[in-house]
Chains A and B, each alone.
Chain A
Amino acid sequence: MRKTQIFIIGILALAIGIVIGGWLRSSQTSTNIAHAKSATQTARVNQQEKNLFAMNVIVSGVPFWTDARETWAKIGDTVEGVKTVFGGPTDTDAAKQIEEIDNLIAQKVRGIVIRPCDPATLGPEIDKAVAAGIPVVTMLADVPNSKRLCYVTSELEDAGKRVGNYVAKNAGYKGKAIISIGELVDDEQLRRGDGFKQVIAANPGMELVQVVEDKFDDTKGAEAIHAALVKTPDIKFIFGCDSRSAVAAVTALKEMGKKPGDVIVSAWDYDVDVLNLIKEGWVQASAASESSYMTQLCFSLLQAYDKGYLYPQSLPYKKFDVSPAPSKIVVPITLVTPKNVDVYSRTPKK
């Protein structure tokens, strides 16, 4: 009996020791890195729970997002300690987007990149995320009245001017023009359109006859542009401001019996069908947003915030409420023309 008691006491002491030993070890810093001795130059690092970063965009199913989605996924696959999730409504429904953002806030994601459906409606939702300690970066369309960290965008007016000047030159800067805009309440779309308007205003031979709304949709866009072409049959230019407007324009032109080159069409982005239309001569040029790089830039801002190095340690930014990032960063576009169109043809994923 006594031997049994002694045995139990011994076992208990051992068990308590194991618990204490484990606790002591785990209380050491989890960021300790031990450099590996091998020549492969690697470092061993304690794996912490992966931090989830989210990207949530308008009309998330359209081909325009392919590059951003792929880059976002690759960031999640390759950056240490990071997981990424891509989402957003398949249409322009701001209520659905708010619902999704609510869900991301509840999941305590570490940062959100958002291409907002409706800047006016999304403001309080972004502020809600920020209040929950989640930094938000707006991409391609801003919510200026919100507490977002930064707005990363592509050239807008300047891109419109570059594309507009390139294609207008092909027709000697003469003729009537239509501008096709995704939505008339969308700041990004309006500013792209402003670039085209500046080209038209600068050339007395050009005249803006109508601005149509294509709702980022080929069918709706084709209907709107068709109606405009019926109203003004001698249109010479159609300037598209979103990724689907040129496809809509060509559909309408075909319905009207036009041939490639009869009307000068410019596009935005590089959906596969847009690239094909450039090759076929229907579309003369497009503005390629550097969406992959913009995605990386948004992530690098969120990562810097998350890891604590966005605020310079040596400056009292927090004390004086100075933002560590500029309000806006503009990433230049690339002009896609028949000369370089092949580069933008997407290869099937391996």
Chain B
Amino acid sequence: MRKTKILILVLLGLAFGIVIGGWLRSTPAKSETVVVKERHYVFNGGLMAQPFWKEVISAIKQMTAATPGLKIDFGGPADLDPGKQIEELEAIIESKPDGIVVFATDPKSLGPTINKAMAQGIPVVTMWADVASSKRMTFISAPEKESAEQLIQKALADHPELLSQKTKVLVSLPAPGMTSTDERLEGVKEVLTNYPSLELTQVVSDEASDVKATEAISAALQRNPDIKIIFGLDARSAIGAISALKERGAKKGEVVVTGWDGDEDVLRGIQEGWIHSTSILNISLSIQTAFSILESAHLGYLYPTILQLKEKNLPTLPSRLEIPEVLVNQKNVAGYFHKK
């Protein structure tokens, strides 16, 4: 009987102790707990069904998981419709986020919406497609022209036979007027001026869709069957080029095709020898850089307080920040396949 009482006493003591110990441990001492301000940012893009965005979403998830108080919403229209994007951005502005990163579907019409956000104290950073006329803080991009030059120089260096004869060149891009692809085209044209044997026969618009790229490139190949180089300037144009070449019964390597970005089928096209190379954005780093700017603006260290930039309403950031791209070909393509 006495033993039972002692056992009950021990068990009760242990139980109380566990409760008290747990409580003591969880009670935050002042030095152990801090209150972190929640920050709510938004990323809004276009063509959101494209595989390109997978890495963006992954980068955002990694950042938010690792950073207390950080919340980033991701969205945008499934197509390149600026009207829809403006509608979404207006709703986002209403929700008063702490900052917005925008991949602009149109270089002009988004200006007033971006300015509205800025006027309401919501900082906006444009990414990969700019709205240069707006009051956005900065434009995070890649050195598009230089990347195109690098890609094309390498492709031509690997195919010197094309330089010793008259060679027809085709370029495929989403549509004229988009900052990034216009700059890539500029790079292509600059390289071509150094090689009089190369002739740019046509620039087709593929609306960043492989189906439309296939149609446009097929039509171009119909007119000029002796096209020997196709420079694809968006993520889907090289895939469209391969489809068009296959339709014509061409074999891999007969026409030099270059792509852009790192969609899985583009990378496979490189492995299989259909695509010579592609230029891949440092997507994760660009995302991190954009949101780190919004973070520094929010946390208060973006402007050096000893300068009068803020007081005089002058920018503290360069108008454009370029994160270099990587040239991917058969040698290094394995490192760019997304994990299953």
Contacts and interface: CB of A to CB of B under 8 A. Distances in A.
B77 to A, nearest CB: 23
B20 A18 contact: yes
Nearest to A300: B292
A183 to B, nearest CB: 27
Given A43-B69, A309-B66, A329-B323, A346 B35 contact: no
A142 to B, nearest CB: 14
A191 to B, nearest CB: 17
B309 interface: yes
B288 A80 contact: no
B312 to A, nearest CB: 5
A332 B321 CA distance: 8
B307 A343 contact: yes
A296 interface: yes
Interface stretch (A63-71, A161-169, A211-219): A63-71
Contacts of A319: 335
Interface string B54-85: 11001101110111110000000000000000
Contacts of A313: 58, 61-62, 339
Nearest to B68: A45
Contacts of A45: 33-36, 68-69
B14 A316 contact: no
Contacts of A201: none
B289 interface: yes
B279 to A, nearest CB: 12
Interface in B236-280: none
Contacts of B176: none
A1 interface: no
Interface stretch (B101-109, B215-223, B294-302): B294-302
Interface string A290-331: 101100110011011001111111111101111011111111
B336 interface: yes
B33 A47 contact: yes
A78 B20 contact: no
Interface stretch (B21-29, B123-131, B180-188): B21-29
Interface stretch (A20-28, A92-100, A173-181): A20-28
Contacts of B309: 343
A316 B338 CA distance: 7
Contact of B25 (A21, A79, A320, A326): A21
Contacts of B111: none
A74 B61 CA distance: 26
A46 B16 CA distance: 25
Given A80-B34, A312-B284, A326-B324, A320 B307 contact: no
Given A290-B318, A332-B318, A315 B285 contact: no
A41 B26 CA distance: 22
A324 B305 contact: no
B22 A21 contact: yes
Contacts of A47: 31-34
A326 B326 contact: yes
B10 interface: yes
A316 B339 contact: yes
Contacts of B34: 44-45, 47, 80
A132 interface: no
A181 B192 CA distance: 38
Nearest to A326: B324
B19 to A, nearest CB: 6
A106 interface: no
Nearest to B23: A21
A75 interface: yes
Contacts of A297: 289, 292
Contact of B69 (A15, A16, A80, A322): A80
Contacts of A233: none
A312 B283 contact: yes
A345 interface: yes
Contacts of A304: 63, 285, 288, 292
Contacts of A321: 335
Contacts of A331: 318, 321
Given A20-B21, A343-B308, A10 B10 contact: yes
B96 to A, nearest CB: 11
A249 B33 CA distance: 54
Contact of A347 (B38, B306, B323, B326): B306
Nearest to B143: A330
A296 B318 contact: no
Given A80-B34, A292-B304, A13 B335 contact: no
16 contacts: A20-B14, A21-B22, A24-B18, A24-B21, A25-B22, A25-B26, A31-B68, A79-B299, A292-B316, A293-B318, A309-B66, A315-B55, A315-B337, A321-B335, A326-B323, A326-B324
Kindly list the 3 A-B residue pairs having the minimum CB-CB distance in the complex, ordered from nearest.
Answer: A17-B17, A21-B21, A13-B13
Given A17-B13, A42-B36, A293-B316, 17 more contacts: A17-B15, A19-B17, A20-B21, A33-B69, A43-B35, A44-B34, A45-B36, A79-B299, A293-B317, A300-B288, A314-B55, A315-B336, A315-B339, A326-B285, A329-B324, A344-B307, A347-B306
